[in-house]
Structures are given as C-alpha cells and as structure tokens.
Amino acid sequence: MQSFLENHPRLRHSLGRALWYLLTFVVAVAVNFFLPRLGDHSPVDTLIARAGESLDTRTAREQEEAYLKEFGLVEVDRAGKLVRAADGKPVETSLASQFARYLSLSLRGDLGTSILQYPKSVNEIIRAALPWTIALQLPAIVLGWLCGNLLGALAAYRRGFFDKGLYPLALLLSAIPAFCVGILLVFVFSIELEWFPAVGGYDDSRIVEFSWDFVSSAAHYYVLPFLSIFGITLGHQAIGMRSMCIYELGTDYIKYSKLLGIQESKILLYMFRNAMLPQLTGLALALGAMVGGALITEMIFSYPGLGMTILTAIQGNDYPLITGATLLITVTVLFANFTVDLLIGFLDPRVAHAERTKR
C-alpha cells in the first residue's frame, strides 16, 4: 500500500486533500451548530409567543412540549414520550447530544423545521429557492471568470488601449461593492430608463411554469442581477490575471521564446497556460467571497433565491433556516474548492513532482 501510493503521486495528492476537506467539513458543521447557540435564543420561545396568545395555560404547555420535542431540546424515551424530572418538567438535552442529533440529521439531508414558516421544513424552502440561485450565479460567475481572465491577459500583453482604458475600469468595477453595483444598476436601468424591472425574479401575475410567457418574463428580470454579478467577477479576475501575466512575461522562457522568434500567438498561449493555474486556485479561494457577494446582489433585487431566503430568515430569527442555508453554502463552496484542488493536482506537473519528492 505504502509503495503503491508512492508510485502514484497524483492519487496520494487526491487522498491527502480528501482527508483535509473532510476535517474542514466537520469543523464547518461544528461552527454552524455552535455559533448560533452562543446567544440565548430558543426557537420554542418564538413559536410559543406566537401560538400561545390564543391558548389557555394547559394547552399552551402541551404545545410547548410538542415543540420542544420536535426541535430535539428535551430528552425522549424509546416510546417517544418525554422524560420528566421529579417535578414533572421535561429534562433538557445536553448540548453534546443535541450536536450529535444535528450531525446525524444533517448527514441524512434533513435540515430541520423552519420557525418562521412553521410547519414547512427547511429542505422544502431551500428546494424552492435553490434553482433561482443556481441559474443566476453559476453562469454569471463562470462567464465573468473566463472573460476577466482573457481581458487581463490581453491587458498585460498588449498594454496600450487594453491597459490604459480597460484596467482602470476593471479596478473601479472591483472596488465598487457588490450591493452598490446592484443599487446603481437598479437606479440607472429601472428607475431612470425603465428598461428593466427593479425587483423580483418574475412577474407576479404569471404562474411559475415552463411556458414561453413565463420564461420571457423571467429573462427580463434576469438581466440586471446577472450583469451585476458578471461585472464584479470580471473586474476582480481581470486585475488578478493582469498581474499574473506581467509576472510571467518577465520570466526567462518568454524572453527565450521571443528571441527564438516563435509566433506571438504561441507565446501568448504559453503565458496564458502558466498564468492560468494560480488563477484557478484563486477561483477556488474567491468562491466563498463571490457567493457571499452574489447573495447580497440577490437581496437587492429581491430575487427569489437563497439570498432572499437568508435575509427573511435573519429578519425573523429563523435559526434552523439560517443554519440550514449557511450549511448548504459552506458545503457547496467546500466541494467546489475540492474539485479545483483535484483538478490542479492533475493539471500542474509541479504538484505531482512535489508529492514524489516529499519524504
């Protein structure tokens, strides 16, 4: 086994990364569980405050106990009945066993019950929001990343117009915070020019279905949030790629290729390939920040995705929903990072080399 791994440096790299991401995942889940419990909120108090007004004391107490059971805050015996102390009050579960329950439930994909939209489950709410977020963010971030890298490489290589005109623009684009881009776009294109609607994901009067009518309405609402996420990603990536390419242009192999008289387009390709690898790592690392910025963009446009879900959850102190949504985001970002990490292990010969010489 030992020698097998030594002969397959790429496999060793992948296994090592997998182990590391597993550890990160456990820490992320723990952070997700313990941070919200630093404060002294109880979901049951919120529910009782809402339901309790119309109930008499006894029914209210029964209701409270039912909620306590549902959120796993009290001990339950095998028959599913509450364990009671000598004075008849239910016994509270320890934080450790609550964590164990949370862990086993989340691993099975059950994120709990929402407080604000009780008795809807968190899974249900997220399932409704997720397609909107994916449809908006995935194309915007990927396209922005690709175009940004191309523009950055051109700016570094051609200098002149690309560098003088586009670079300051990219700098400005990346300096404007995500939400400000959103607000400015809304101001210019939907209030002043009235070209696009300001808020929402589709026209409210239409039914959500797969018809030409609905899709064209959704596309109309799609333009502004897409542009805002696309623009920001493009700006950030162009700046990073420009300095990477300037670095590569100063290296010996480029100078040598130029002296040899190799075609310009070929040199450009060499440079692009070498400058791209760090940008790929950069994509992985920036993904968390990008998703965060994109979520805020969703909130500004009241886009019916995950960002809006988190916003309403925060406003209503809906803890299961907040942690459910943040857990999903964390896992997605971790998974994307892991994929890029593996990809780099295969694309970059230096990684395999480092693994081979490591002893």
String of DSSP letters for 22-74 = HHHHHHHHHHHHHGGGGS---HHHHHHHHHGGGS-HHHHHHHHHHHHHHTT-B
31 binds another protein (CB under 8 A): yes
Least distance CB 353 / another protein (angstroms): 20
Report d(CA 278, CA 273) in Å as an integer: 10
Contact stretch for another protein (CB under 8 A) within 9-17, 42-50, 113-121, 181-189 = 181-189
Least distance CB 278 / another protein (angstroms): 13
Kindly tell me which of 138 and 180 has the beta carbon lying closer to another protein: 180
82 binds another protein (CB under 8 A): no
177 binds another protein (CB under 8 A): yes
Per the structure block, which two tokens stand in for 339? Answer: 């994929």
Least distance CB 198 / another protein (angstroms): 6
Task: Identify the residue among 62, 95, 187, 256 touching another protein (CB under 8 A).
Answer: 187
310 binds another protein (CB under 8 A): yes
Q: Which residues contact 233 (CB under 8 A, 6 or more apart)?
A: 140, 141, 144, 145, 148, 290
Task: Identify the residue among 121, 337, 345, 355 touching another protein (CB under 8 A).
Answer: 337
* Residue owning tokens 């996420």: 229
String of DSSP letters for 94-161 = PHHHHHHHHHHHHHTT---B-STTTTSBHHHHHHHHHHHHHHHHHHHHHHHHHHHHHHHHHHHHH-HH
Single-letter code of the amino acid located at 106: S
**By rule CB under 8 A, what string of x and - marks binding of each residue 268-307 to another protein?**
-----------------x--xx-xxx-xx--xx-------
String of DSSP letters for 312-357 = HHHHTT-HHHHHHHHHHHHHHHHHHHHHHHHHHHHH-HHHHHHHHH
220 binds another protein (CB under 8 A): no
Applying CB under 8 A, the site for another protein has a residue count of: 56
323 binds another protein (CB under 8 A): yes
Query: What values do phi and psi take at 266, rounded to 5?
Result: -70, -40
317 binds another protein (CB under 8 A): yes
**Which residues, 137 to 176, sit near another protein by CB under 8 A?**
171-172, 174-176
Kindly tell me which of 34 and 346 has the beta carbon lying closer to another protein: 34
* Chain mean position to CA 74: 33
- Please list the residues that pair with 92 across neighbouring strands: 74
24 binds another protein (CB under 8 A): yes
Task: Identify the residue among 5, 8, 16, 36 touching another protein (CB under 8 A).
Answer: 36
Kindly tell me which of 119 and 250 has the beta carbon lying closer to another protein: 250
Q: Directed axis angle between helix 306-315 and helix 264-300, to 10°? A: 40
Query: Quick one: which of 158, 152, 163, 161 has its CA closest to 245?
Result: 152
Least distance CB 8 / another protein (angstroms): 23
114 binds another protein (CB under 8 A): no
Report d(CA 298, CA 277) in Å as an integer: 30
**By rule CB under 8 A, what string of x and - marks binding of each residue 233-262 to another protein?**
----------x--xx--x------------
Task: Identify the residue among 9, 12, 13, 28 touching another protein (CB under 8 A).
Answer: 28
Which chain residues interact with another protein by CB under 8 A? 20, 23-24, 27-28, 31-32, 35-39, 41, 171-172, 174-180, 183-184, 186-187, 191, 198-199, 243, 246-247, 250, 285, 288-289, 291-293, 295-296, 299-300, 310-311, 314-315, 317, 322-323, 326, 329-330, 333-334, 337
